[in-house]
Structure 1
Amino acid sequence: MHPLHLTSDPVALTAALVDIPSPSHQEKHLADLVEQALLDIPGVEVIRRGNTLAARTARGLPERVILAGHLDTVPIADNVPHQLIDDRLYGCGAVDMKSGLAVYLHLFATLAAAPELAFDLTLIAYECEEVDSIYNGLRHLAESDPEWLRGDLALLGEPSGAIVEAGCQGTLRVRVTTRGRRAHSARGWLGDNAAHRLGPVIQRIAEWQPREVDIDGCVYREGLNVVKLESYLATNIIPDEAHALVNYRFAPDITGEEALARVREHLAGYEVTLEDSVDGALPGLEQPAAAALIAQVGEVRAKYGWTDVARFAALGIPAVNFGPGDPSYAHRQEEQVPVGDITRVAAQLRSFLTR
């Protein structure tokens, strides 16, 4: 595989990144290439933890901006290598988030020694964002090397349509369990079908009235949804246990504990077990560095979904999502990003970093 040229055009760099397969837990080859490219930049410090890379300048500038993006993608769906059709770049990870990572890598490489740079920079390219949080490379870096996550503003290259998406929703997952009594399916009346008992649970979740919460002009819309149903013993057995996995995306004005209390209240009378919970992040738009970026870009909206801006927010660092492309194309076989978004984000961010 040819080396990565971080100073090349961000569109070409996006295509190169897409063409290097890196599903979660399989980022090593891409991490090797990114590491070598970062080591080739004069005057920067580089560290590696597993398949997570970090590099930073130390020019004594008054503020520091962190540029962070993940290396991994969801499993490839016959969409590598990339295709460029009608000014859209197609391929696994094109929008989530190799185009955002390409812009960040390019700007770090071209501005690290530039006299017009207004901020010291930290670049983080991390593994395993698309899977369970216990594997998240940014989380591990925060635990092993917390000083590398210190800054005045953090940017995540998540797809945001080339505008700023502020904060993020929290997310939790619960398991709702119903119980019955086994029986042979030929004599089903002798049993009590636990799967049938999930019917009222599903109906109650469908009746949930989502909140729309306005925070600093950013409107977060909540959602409670069944994402998985489980109940099976054999094709001729009435199941005595059934489960519904339920995901709650909640606005960042409440904590995970408060969100869980809301779910338990809504599902009162049923067995509810918490499996995973991560708080969201408030917009933080009043912070000077964030306000300056928004003034440069000219538009801001709420981020639907959870992103790693929450990790920075928990550390007291204002963070926003800023990257190319429509997030609704993430994880799809026809995943794509407009070339114009890549060039626009690169130009806007360059202007901000050199103001």
Structure 2
Amino acid sequence: MSNSQQIYNAVHTLSIEPGYEGQRIDNFLINHLKGVPKSLVYRILRRGEVRVNKGRIKANYRLQVGDQVRVPPVRMADRDEPARVDNRQLERLEKAIIFEDKRLIVLNKPSGIAVHGGSGLSFGVIEALRQLRPDERQLELVHRLDRETSGCLLVAKRRSALRTLHELMRSNGIDKRYIALVRGNWRRDRIEVDAPLLKNTLQGGERIVVVNPRGKESLTRFSIRERIGDFQLIEARLMTGRTHQIRVHAAHLGTPVLGDGKYGDAATNRELRDLGLRRLFLHAETLRFRWPDEKQFQHFRAPLEPALEELLSRIRTSAHANRY
């Protein structure tokens, strides 16, 4: 057995403290047993090896304060040696924080950084934030952004805040607006795409999402912010939260997001690379919601990175010159 692993060779019992109530037992165990494969977590749940108050439970059981959770012996990564994030990345993320209070952190996630580690990545935003805020023991992602997408990302600092924000998301109580750059011209300034999305896997193992009647209901509302020659700066409002939803729906319209190596046009992407586009032009610009115990809405805006602003400026200049 590797020194980087250890075995819990005895049953241990956890008492659920305030702040963890309402969380599903499977998610609680995945967070508690860091380094243990999710498949093993679900296996010990199915076998009844995990007990709550001495009784068998299902994976969707929601914890209550005072619950006694019996956890069987499992092999897991050594939690005393978490992956360390270098200081340069920590400083970058510290500067990206645009709001913080006792319940929430909002940051302008840079493009190219995943929201969490895994799949060959030693760390993501959440691991870095836990290193930046070691005293905040309940930091959790509220939602996700693709690795190449930048913009507003919510991180809860309390379990109670996480539950509230998830409820708001389920009831469309969080207004999320993205901006993207596409090539082409829509006849109308506003377009609603109601097209079900299905996760698929290609032969080479690459995961993609496709429009398919067997997929999950997916709705995106697009509007044009600015027409710039052959290009359009568009706004997308998510009415559902599916993987790659904006990217797939934009491609479904025949106008994929520029810089998209998965769903975009390779020739157009090469042309825009010569103009300075080195990433996906998709940015989570604003978030708006209201806490149930407050009257005022919370509104957050993440500015575009300078490289994207400079690209837009060059395109505007070119379009203006070609007009005369």
Fold shared, TM-score > 0.5 on shorter chain: no
State TM-score, norm by structure 2. 0.29
Structure of higher RCO (CA pairs closer than 8 Å, 6+ residues apart) = 1
State TM-score, norm by structure 1. 0.27
